[in-house]
Every structure is written in C-alpha cells, then in structure tokens.
C-alpha cells in the first residue's frame, strides 16, 4: 500500500508533466510555423517602393505593421481589407492638398483629380456659360496650388449715353471697365468708385467730365454828373456829355457732367471799356435883356434863296449869330476824347449843324439862315447842337476851320424856320 502523499506524487508525474510538455511544444511549433509562413509583398507609395515581409492576414494590417499609414483621402489598392498574398503589389495614391476659392470664400481640398476640370467634377461644381476658373480646366493638379472660381455677375452699366447689361467675372468696377475697353478721361469718374467690389445686380454709371471757358460781357452802367456853368442862364440845363455804358468781360470755367452744366467758377473779370459819365450842365448866369437891334418876325411866308430858289417858312426870327468849329477853344474837347465831334442831339458836327437855344428853336428843326441885310447866306441847316452862351435869340453856326470862325465874328441873321 502507498501512502496518500506518495500516491499523489506518482499521479502528478504520470499525467500533469506530460500535458505541460505538450503545451510548450505546441507553442514552439506555432512560433516556428509563423516565422516560416511570413509573406513578402511590395508597397508602391508614390515614387518609393518598399518590400515588407509580413505574417498579417490583410493589407491594412500589413501596412500598419510596416508603419506605412495612408491619409484619410489617400487611396490603397487593393483595399485595406484585402487578404495578403505572396508577391502582392500594394499601391498607395496620396491625395493632393490645394486651396479652392469660390465666391471669395476659400477652403482646403484633398483630391485624387489629375486636372482642374476633374477636380471641379469630383467636387460637384458646375460653371455657368459666363463663369470661369483659374487656372484653366486642362491644367494639371499640383501640391499646394490655388484654384479660383470666377463667378459671373450681371451688372447694369450706363455710360456714354447708352445702357448695357454686362455679364462679368471682374472683381471691381475698374476691372469691369477695363474688360469692356472703356477709356477713362483725366476727370471722368464712376458711381460707385472704380475700386468698389462688384455684386450681382449692381448698377454702375460712367460720368464723362468736360470743362471749357465761357466768356460773358456784362454792362456797367454810367453815372450822371451835374455841373454848373455861367454859359447858361439860370433855369436852363443842357447835356454837355452823353453817358455811355461800360463793359466788363467775365471769363468762367464751366464744368459739365455728361453734357449737363454742374459748376461755374469765375476765372477772371476785366473792364474792357470804362463807362463814360453823363454830364448835365446847369446855368448860373442872369438872363440878359434882349438887344434892341434883335427883332422877331412871327409871320410865315415865301422866300427866295441867293440862288433864286423859293422856299416856304413857318416863321422868321432875327438872331445874333456866332461861329464855332471842332477846336478845343470852341467845343472844349480834343481828338480822342469821349464824344469828340458829336453834338448834343447825337449828330456828327459839320457844316450846316447849328447850335440853338432849344427853348426857342427845338433841336431837329430845319432852318434857312442868311444875313439880315441879305448880303450873304449860310444856307439850309438844322438845329442840332447847343452851346455855351447860346440862349434866347442866339445861334452858333458851324464852320470847318478856325480861320472861318474868326472871319465870321458876330453878325445879325435872319433865321427862317421851315
């Protein structure tokens, strides 16, 4: 008989030890088999080719074991869940990163597309007839490139008197005008300004600006100047000098927007003719008593001239006659002075123009004058002037020379009012 302890030891040696040995042997066998069963595969990653030996069951596990990690947008062929085969070639196509700008907004895109056109197709982007893309659709995709979509906008354009609905990819007003071939003048402008970014449906107006100088003549009124003279009796007045308006020439720079005047700026103002004052003389002399030798004949009738021609007259007046010419001594003016040679009635001084007292003989009256004794005749004439000291029954006859005036002196004449 065995003791209880001895029996337990015998059983352990007989059954447990062999079992443990069997387990260890199986583990060693698995390790050896695994080492012997590793498969050789080829990984193509871009231009790099890596040879790996793996005992993994799938492509994904083999790449992970070799620490070759595809990105989220990379493509692995065959797929990561495909079983590993001896001599397998695994191709990894890396996605390209680029910047896509659409409508002013940009985003990063990872793509397998080969060209810009294929990129747009893969992203589900559709371009209208008037849209564009930069670079062109046939351009190859490269790492880090920027692709910009040029979305067209419809712009209502007014310029040079016309209207145009424009489909444009331009970013700003100025870019659009350049694309249309519009030439801007130095002073031309747009509404809104050329650096304004375009938006769909915007209205753009081109304003053409022109400037030119315009000259206006402005009348400057004359003043009335009063003087006193002893050549006239009290209560009598006469116009010694007619007034004449002056002229000021004003030059303006006028600005036009599309042919419409919007601004006028005074550039210069020049007095091109000074005004001439109107001079009125008032008499200060006492009225003299009439000469006893001067008589009036008021009845009309018929008279013969020295040449035997008959004329009818309304009234005959006996007057004292003096003579004057255009000298300074007679008229108080020199050649070049205002109104030199012009009478009080506006007539030009000359033979046949007689100065009178308008209160006795109205200006414009036609006359015939001869000597009181009929020895000579001044002839037909007209009352067209006034003169210093010519008042009452006084007349002043015009002669062409100073010598004729001197020779005439003072004489009594018959003045026939026709």
250 and 296 co-located in one domain: no
Whether residue 317 is contained in a domain is answered as yes
Q: What is the pLDDT of residue 291?
A: 42
Q: Do 342 and 387 share a domain, yes or no?
A: yes
Structural domain count of the chain: 5
- Look up tokens 């030009």; give the residue: 348
Beta carbons of 197 and 172 less than 8 angstroms apart: yes
Which domain CATH number covers 227? 2.20.230.10
14 occurs within a structural domain:
no
Cis peptide bond prior to 290, omega within 30° of 0: no
- pTM over 0.85? The answer is no
Write out the H or E segment, with its range, that includes residue 36: helix 4-36
Residue 366 lies in a domain: yes
Q: Is 417 in contact with 395 (CB distance < 8 Å)?
A: no
Are both 358 and 309 inside the same structural domain? yes
SS3 14: helix
Residues 228 and 200 in one domain: no
* 3-state secondary structure (DSSP) of residue 18: helix
Domain span at residue 367? 288-417
What mean pLDDT, rounded, does the chain reach?
87
Cα 272 to Cα 198: distance, rounded to the nearest angstrom? 54
Query: What is the per-residue DSSP string for 336-403?
Result: TSTTTTB-TTSPBP-TTEEE--TTTS-TT-EEEEEETTSS-EEEEEEEEE--TT--SSEEEEE-SSHH
Domain assignment present for residue 29? The answer is: no
User: Residue 373's pLDDT band (boundaries 50, 70, 90)?
Assistant: confident
- Kindly state the tokens that stand for 66: 């070799």
The verdict on 409 and 327 lying in the same domain is yes
In this prediction, residue 20 carries a pLDDT of 56
- Of the pLDDT bands very low, low, confident and very high (cuts 50, 70, 90), residue 290 is very low
Distance of alpha carbon 12 from alpha carbon 14, whole angstroms: 5
Considering the domain architecture, whether residues 264 and 354 belong to the same structural domain is answered as no
Query: How many angstroms separate the CA atoms of 109 and 144, rounded?
Result: 10
Residue 403 sits in a domain of what CATH number?
2.40.40.10
CA atoms within 13 A of residue 311's CA, in its CB half-sphere: 18
3-state secondary structure 49-78: EEEEEECCCEHHHHHHHCCCCCCCCCEEEC
The residue among 222, 248, 281 that closes a domain is 281
The pLDDT score that the predictor gives to residue 295 is: 45
Residue ending a domain, choose from 110, 134, 150? 150
Judge if 224 and 201 occupy the same domain: no
pLDDT tens per residue, range 131-187: 999 999 999 999 999 999 988 999 999 999 999 999 998 989 999 999 999 999 999
Residues 195 and 222 in one domain: no
CATH, residue 159? 3.10.20
Residues 235 and 356 occupy one common structural domain: no
| pLDDT > 70 in the chain, percent | 88
- Per-residue pLDDT of 20-60, as tens digits, reads 556 555 555 443 444 446 899 999 998 899 999 999 999 99
pLDDT of residue 285: 78
For residue 263, tell me if it sits in a domain.
yes
- CATH number, domain of 66, equals 3.10.20.90
Please give the structure tokens belonging to residue 153. 């906008």
Identify whether residues 393 and 300 lie together within a single domain. Answer: yes
Residue-by-residue DSSP string for 101-138: EETTEEEEEEE--SBHHHHHHHTT----TT-EEES-TT
Q: What is the CA radius of gyration of the chain?
A: 63
User: What is the token pair recorded at 326?
Assistant: 């255009």
């Amino acid at each position: 008989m065995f003791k209880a302890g001895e029996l337990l030891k015998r059983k352990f040696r007989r059954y447990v030890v062999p079992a443990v040995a069997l387990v260890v042997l199986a583990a060693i066998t698995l390790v050896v088999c695994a080492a012997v069963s590793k498969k050789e595969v080829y990984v193509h990653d871009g231009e790099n080719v890596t040879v790996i030996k793996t005992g993994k069951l799938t492509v994904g596990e083999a790449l992970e074991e070799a620490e070759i990690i595809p990105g989220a947008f990379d493509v692995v062929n065959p797929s990561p869940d495909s079983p590993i085969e001896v001599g397998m070639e695994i191709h990894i196509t890396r996605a390209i990163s680029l910047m896509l700008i659409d409508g002013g907004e940009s985003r990063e895109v990872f793509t397998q597309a080969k060209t810009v056109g294929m990129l747009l197709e893969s992203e589900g982007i559709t371009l209208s007839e008037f849209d564009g893309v930069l670079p062109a659709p046939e351009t190859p995709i490269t790492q880090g490139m920027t692709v910009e979509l040029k979305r067209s906008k419809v712009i209502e354009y007014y310029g040079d008197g016309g209207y145009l609905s424009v489909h444009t990819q331009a970013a700003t007003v100025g870019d659009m005008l350049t694309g249309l071939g519009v030439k801007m003048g130095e002073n031309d402008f747009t509404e809104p300004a050329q650096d304004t970014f375009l938006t769909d449906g915007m209205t753009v107006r081109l304003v053409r600006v022109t400037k030119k100088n315009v000259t206006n003549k402005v009348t400057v009124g004359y003043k009335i100047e009063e003087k006193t003279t002893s050549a006239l009796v009290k209560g009598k007045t006469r116009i010694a000098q007619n007034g004449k308006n002056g002229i000021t020439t004003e030059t303006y720079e006028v600005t036009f927007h599309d042919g419409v005047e919007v601004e006028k700026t005074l550039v210069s103002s020049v007095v091109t003719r000074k005004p001439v004052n109107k001079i009125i003389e008032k008499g200060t002399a006492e009225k003299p008593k009439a000469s006893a030798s001067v008589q009036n004949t008021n009845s009309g009738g018929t008279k013969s001239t020295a040449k035997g021609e008959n004329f009818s007259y309304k009234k005959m007046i006996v007057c004292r006659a003096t003579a004057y010419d255009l000298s300074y001594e007679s008229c108080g003016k020199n050649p070049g002075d205002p109104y030199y040679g012009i009478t009080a009635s506006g007539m030009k001084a000359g033979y046949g123009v007689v100065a009178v007292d308008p209160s006795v003989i109205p200006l414009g009256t036609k006359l015939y004058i001869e000597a009181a004794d009929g020895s000579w005749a001044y002839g037909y004439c007209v009352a067209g002037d006034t003169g210093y000291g010519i008042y009452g029954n006084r007349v002043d006859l015009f002669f062409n020379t100073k010598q004729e005036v001197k020779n005439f002196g003072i004489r009594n004449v018959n003045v026939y009012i026709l």
